[in-house]
Amino acid sequence: TTPAAPKLRDAVSALPAYVPGRPAVAPDGRPAYKLSSNENPYPPLASVQEVLREAVGSVNRYPDMSAAALVREIAAFHAVPVECVATGTGSVGVLQQVVQATCGPGDEVVFAWRSFEAYPIVVQISGASAVPVPLAADEGHDLDAMLAAVTPRTRLVLLCTPNNPTGTTIATNALARFLAAVPSDVLVVVDEAYTEFVRDADAADGVAAFREHANVAVLRTFSKAYGLAGLRVGYALAAPPVAAALRATAVPFGVSGLAQAAAIASLAARDELLERVEALVAERERVTAALRRQGWTLPDSSANFVWLRLGDRSAEFAAACDAVGVSVRPYGADGVRVTIGEREANDLFVQVAEAWLSR
């Protein structure tokens, strides 16, 4: 007889996989480009690399568990008290802390769908129930439907603006109406991973909402505009008791000394980094205009990616991109998300899109 296997929680055995963006494969000697993970195509600034080289000498020691210096810089940057800042292992780590701090079995978490694929996974791990609410026809959040989905069991609402993978934003007055109506004992997380890429004056400002509502927490990351995806550092701004709960549920020493040092250096070099963001925004607008000229319909993106609703032809389109050395991100039978990357990579994608329409 075979010995019994270790018992696993049902909620974990049934988890959907988190599918990371595929690496690009170069076709016969030509360059390969990864446009599948919303990464920043620019390498770290020389000043950030210098700080990292220095910090390497201390990796025999545990980092500052409270990330005090980084927390001070984040607090100063947003002009909020340090008590309102909690850091984590990427903003997805902070998201996990949020769910651990607010939810358990029997609780409900409302979020739009399709949105960031980690949402249903971290909710399911906690034992809480995911309540996905379909996006509106314009690919944006349907806040009325999300409000209607809130029940006495709802502990958490996740809003993603700009939304991954559609690039849509929530408007300022739509967020204000939502926050006025949602019960104040429900935590509303505004995930602003791509906020630096927003150029729409109507887009909601999560930090402003956090200043007005004790039940709003904002998630930010150093992975996208700041280009530190590989170092894993993000943070939340939240009311002091909420931020304290997020610190309590964090993995101890989850933000490495390298990550803390690089994040501090990146905040100091913010102006230089934002010039790169400006170039990526210009590329986004160039790509969007080219696709529309070709005849594609796509939502205005406020992030570093564009969204093509290709339905059941999504995998086929991704394969056509693979063939020219560009890896993009198909999402089931919904659509394909393409990160704005190097100009040559964007051009290859635009060429595939053009050829696709004239098949």
Binding pattern to ligand PMP, positions 214-243, x when CB under 6 A?
A: -------x-x-----x----x---------
Which string of DSSP letters, residue by residue, matches 17-67? Answer: P--PPPPP--STTS--EE-SS---SSPPPHHHHHHHHHHHTTTTSPP-TT-
Residue of closest CB approach to ligand PMP: 90
Query: Which pair of tokens denotes residue 191?
Result: 């995930």
Distances, alpha carbon 323 to alpha carbons 32, 256, 320, 351, 356, in Å: 10, 38, 5, 12, 13
CB of 228 to ligand PMP, least distance (A): 8
92 is an interface residue for ligand PMP by CB under 6 A: yes
Q: Which is nearer to ligand PMP, 89 or 102 (CB)?
A: 89
Determine, following the binding rule CB under 6 A, whether residue 195 of this chain makes contact with ligand PMP. no
Site string for ligand PMP, 71-90 (x = CB under 6 A): -------------------x
Which of 111, 116, 210, 226 touches ligand PMP by CB under 6 A?
A: 116
Positions in 275-334 near ligand PMP (CB under 6 A): none
- Count Cβ neighbours within 10 Å for each residue of 273-289 and write b for 16 or more, e otherwise: beebbeebbebbeebbe
**Rounded alpha-carbon distances, angstroms, from residue 32 to 24, 341, 359:** 5, 12, 24
Sign of CA dihedral 19, 167, 336, 111: positive
Q: 280 or 320: whose CB is closer to ligand PMP? A: 280
Q: Is the Cβ of residue 191 or residue 283 nearer to ligand PMP in the bound state?
A: 191
Is position 257 an interface residue for ligand PMP (rule: CB under 6 A)? no
Q: Is 203 in the site for ligand PMP (CB under 6 A)?
A: no
* Closest distance of CB 337 from ligand PMP, Å: 10
Amino acid occupying residue 159: L
Q: Among 91, 126, 266, 327, which residue sits at the site for ligand PMP (rule: CB under 6 A)?
A: 91
How many angstroms separate the CA atoms of 50 and 47, rounded? 5
In Å, how far from its chain's centre is CA 245? 21
Q: In this structure, what token pair is assigned to residue 173?
A: 């007055």
- Residue 196 is a binding residue for ligand PMP (CB under 6 A): no
For ligand PMP, the binding residue among 40, 97, 124, 164 (CB under 6 A) is 164
Angle between helices 257-268 and 68-78 in degrees, nearest 10: 30
State the CB neighbour count (10 A cutoff) for residue 57: 9
Closest approach of Cβ 236 to ligand PMP, in Å? 11
Nearer to ligand PMP, 38 or 256 (CB): 38
Residues that bind ligand PMP (CB under 6 A): 38, 90-92, 116, 160, 164, 191, 193, 221, 223, 229, 234
